[in-house]
Amino acid sequence: MHHFEYRDGVLHAEELSIERLAAEVGTPFYCYSTATLERHFRVFRDAFSDTDSLVCYAIKSNSNIAVIKTLAELGSGMDVVSEGELRRARAAGVPGERIIFSGVGKTAEEMQYGLAEKILCFNVESEQELFLLNDVAGAMNVSAPVSMRINPDVDPKTHAKISTGKAEDKFGVPYRQARELYKQASQLNNIKITGVDMHIGSQITDLQPFGDAFQLLRDLVIELRGDGHNIDHIDLGGGLGIPYGNQENPVPLPDDYAAVVKTHTKDLGCRLLFEPGRMITGNSGILVTRVLFVKNAIDKSFTIVDAAMNDLIRPTLYEAYHDIIPVSDTRNSSPRQKTDIVGPVCETGDYLALDRSLPAFEQGDLLSVMTAGAYGATLSSQYNSRRLIPEILVKKDEYCVIRPRESYEDMLSREKIPSWFSET
Ligand code: LLP
C-alpha cells in the first residue's frame, strides 16, 4: 500500500502532481511520500503493540536525514552500521538510547563515537571486535552494552548477495561458538551483556527461515540464561520482503511475521528489537525519469531514459524487478511492446528493466520506477561523472527538496590537481 496514484490522468505523490515536480525540479529525481513512510512504520510497530519492543529503522535503506526525522518523530529507534549513519541519526535528533550499532567491521573510532553518544547496544560479530570494544570502553572508563550477532546457518532463500545467515556468509558468530563468546564477554571489565542479535538476510518472502532462525535464537537465550548471563533483549534483525510487482505469491504481512516472532519469544520476558529497512522505505519512494530517445533496432526496442545504473543499481546488481509505469495515464492505452529500459551509462549492465512489455513510450515521456525508496539513493554513485540526483519528500500538497541535485562545481570541487603540475 502506497500513496502514488493517478489523479486526473497524472501520477501523483499524495496530492502533488509528478508532472509538476518534474517541471520544477528537472529529471531524474527520487520522490518519497511521508504518508507511506508513516503508514509502513506504524503497521510494523502496531504488529508488536502487545509486546515490549522497539523498532530500530535500518538507516542504510534510505539515509536522508529528513526520512530519518520523519520516522524518529513517530518514536522509531535506528539501526546504524557506520559513524556516518550514527551522525545522521543524531542530526535528525534521535537520542543515543534509541540507537543500535550493527556491522561486521566497526573501527575503534566508531566504537568511541558510539560510546560517547551512549547508544543502546553494539551488535558484536567476532571475538576480536569484542576485545577491541572492551579496550575502547576501558580507555573511556565506561561499559559497552553488547549483544552478539549469531549466525544460525539458516538459508533465507533470497538473492545470494543479500543472504547473511548462512555459515558461508561473513556475518555473525557461528551458533555453536556463541556460548563460549558470551562466557569470554562476561569476564571482560568494560563489557555489559544485554542481549542477543540476529539478521539472516534481506527481501525474505518466506516465513519459514525466520521461524527456523528464531527457534534457534530462543534455544540460545534459554541456554545463556542457564549459563548465568543477563539477556534482556532479543534483536530479531530486519529482512521482511516487500512486493515488487513480480512475485508469484503474496509476500507475508507484518502481522504474519509478528505471529512467527511471538511464537518463539512470548514467554521469554525479553524486550524485542527489530531492524526493518526495506519494509518501511521500499514502497515509499519512486524514481522519476524522462525518455530521451526510443531506438528501434532490428527485433529489439530500447527506451533510453535519463536515469541510469548509477542512480538505481538494483536491477543490474541483484537482477531486481521494479515496476515501471508512465506518469501520464493516457500512455497506458498505447499499444504494448517489449523494450529494454536503459540509461546513458556506458555499460551493457546499465538497465532498469529488460525485455519488459510496456506501452510504447515516446521521446519526452515521464516514467516512474516504482518501489525505489529502499536501497535506491543510498546505493547511487557518480559513475560516468553523473551528478547525484535530487531527493524530494512530499507531504500532502507540499514538497521539499531534501537533497538538491549536485552541481558540477560540487562534483569537481572535492578533487585536486597536485602542485607538481605547476612546478615547471
Ligand atoms: N539489519 C542489518 C544488520 C542489515 O544488514 C540489514 C540490511 C538490515 C537490518 C535491513 O534489512 P531490510 O529490512 O532492509 O531487508 N542493497 C540490497 C539490500 C542489502 C541489505 C543489507 N542489510 C538491496 O537493494 O536489495
Mean pLDDT of 247-267: 94
pLDDT for position 149: 96
pLDDT for position 267: 95
Alpha-carbon distance of 213 to 264, in angstroms, equals: 10
Contacts of 79 (CB under 8 A, 6+ apart): 56, 57, 58, 59, 99, 100, 102, 238, 275, 277
All three cell numbers of 57, joined, read 529503522
Asked whether 277 lines ligand 1 (CB < 6 A), one says yes
Mean pLDDT of 278-293: 98
Residue 245 — very low, low, confident or very high, per pLDDT cuts 50/70/90? confident
pLDDT for position 123: 98
pLDDT for position 1: 82
Neighbour count for residue 312 (Cβ, 10 Å): 26
- Write the pLDDT tens digit of every residue in 371-409: 999 999 999 999 999 999 999 999 999 999 999 999 999
- pLDDT of residue 71 exceeding 80, the answer is yes
% pLDDT > 70, the chain = 100
- Write the pLDDT tens digit of every residue in 314-371: 999 999 999 999 999 999 999 999 999 999 999 999 999 999 999 999 999 999 999 9
Give the Å distance between the CA of 139 and the centre of ligand 1: 32
Mean pLDDT of 244-258: 91
Indicate the burial class of 256 (C-beta count within 10 angstroms; 0-12, 13-18, 19 or more). Answer: middle
Q: Which of 31, 121, 346, 400 is catalytic?
A: 346
Ligand 1, closest atom to CA 239?
A: 15
Tell me the domain boundaries of the chain: 4-31+282-413, 103-274
All three cell numbers of 239, joined, read 529482512
Mean pLDDT of 178-198: 98
pLDDT for position 246: 82
% pLDDT > 90, the chain = 92
pLDDT for position 163: 87
- Write the pLDDT tens digit of every residue in 95-141: 999 999 999 999 999 999 999 999 999 999 999 999 999 999 999 99
Ligand 1 pocket, mutate which of 242, 275, 381 (most atoms under 8 A from CB): 275
Asked whether 318 lines ligand 1 (CB < 6 A), one says yes
H or E element at residue 271: strand 271-274
- pLDDT of residue 423 exceeding 80, the answer is no
Fold of 103-274: TIM Barrel (3.20.20)
Alpha-carbon distance of 361 to 77, in angstroms, equals: 43
Give the Å distance between the CA of 239 and the centre of ligand 1: 6
CATH number, domain 4-31+282-413: 2.40.37.10
Contacts of 57 (CB under 8 A, 6+ apart): 41, 68, 71, 76, 77, 78, 79, 275, 276, 277, 280
Instruction: Please say if 346 is a catalytic residue.
Output: yes
Higher pLDDT pick, 159 / 256: 256
Asked whether 78 lines ligand 1 (CB < 6 A), one says no
Residue 165 — very low, low, confident or very high, per pLDDT cuts 50/70/90? confident
pLDDT for position 415: 95
Asked whether 162 lines ligand 1 (CB < 6 A), one says yes
pLDDT for position 362: 97
Q: What is the pTM of this model?
A: 0.97
pLDDT for position 164: 87
Q: Nearest Cα to 269, choosing from 238, 304, 233?
A: 233
pLDDT for position 424: 62
Asked whether 79 lines ligand 1 (CB < 6 A), one says yes
pLDDT for position 304: 98
Strand bridging mode 336-342 / 300-305: parallel
- pLDDT of residue 43 exceeding 70, the answer is yes
User: Mean pLDDT over all residues of the chain?
Assistant: 96
Mean pLDDT of 248-263: 94
| Residue located nearest, by CA, to atom 22 of ligand 1 | 202
Asked whether 77 lines ligand 1 (CB < 6 A), one says no
Alpha-carbon dihedral of residues 131, 137, 140, 142, nearest 10 degrees?
A: -150
